[in-house]
């Protein structure tokens, strides 16, 4: 069964990618650029797996991004986010799609909810 809000979810992921990539370019941060590419790859795979047209996703300004579809997706599938500051290399199996999804969503949460 397909997630009922998949189009909104994928759109939110794309807009997070745009914002993170833009910030990486502005501050010239390679690590952030790598994270943005991971988000992009996750977005492309999610869109492709769900038959969504990737060229039809509207971009939004940083202040207008709706993150609720991402949070509802996390809650719906009961995804436990990584605590990135305590994460070890052995915590992530790069061959496991669920681990990659969890890793990407953890970064999205950290990047969008970090205070200060």
- Residue 1's pLDDT is 54
Whether 54 contacts 47, CB under 8 Å: yes
Q: Give the pLDDT confidence of 15-49 residue by residue, as tens digits.
A: 999 999 999 999 999 999 999 999 999 999 999 99
Question: pTM of this prediction?
Answer: 0.87
Q: In the structure, what pLDDT confidence band is assigned to residue 116 with cuts at 50, 70 and 90? A: very low
Alpha-carbon gap, residue 34 to 114, rounded angstroms: 19
Rg (Cα) of the chain, in Å, rounded? 14
Mean pLDDT of 81-93: 84
Q: In the structure, what pLDDT confidence band is assigned to residue 13 with cuts at 50, 70 and 90? A: very high
Q: Collapsing DSSP states into helix, strand and coil, what is residue 14? A: helix
- Residue 26's pLDDT is 95
Q: Give the pLDDT confidence of 58-86 residue by residue, as tens digits.
A: 777 777 889 999 999 999 999 999 988 88
Tokens of residue 111, six digits? 């990047």
Burial 85-101, CB ≥16 within 10 A → b, else e: eeeeeeeeeeeeeeebb
């Amino acid at each position: 069964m397909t997630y009922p809000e998949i189009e909104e979810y994928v759109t939110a992921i794309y807009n997070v990618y745009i914002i993170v990539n833009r910030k990486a370019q502005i501050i010239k941060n390679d690590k952030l650029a790598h994270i943005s590419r991971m988000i992009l790859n996750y977005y492309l795979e999610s869109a492709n797996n769900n038959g969504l047209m990737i060229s039809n996703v509207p971009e939004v300004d940083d202040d207008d991004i709706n993150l609720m579809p991402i949070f509802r997706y996390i809650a719906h599938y009961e995804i436990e986010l990584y605590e990135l500051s305590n994460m070890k290399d052995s915590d992530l199996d790069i061959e496991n799609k669920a681990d990659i999804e969890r890793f990407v969503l953890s970064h999205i949460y950290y990047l969008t909810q970090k205070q200060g």
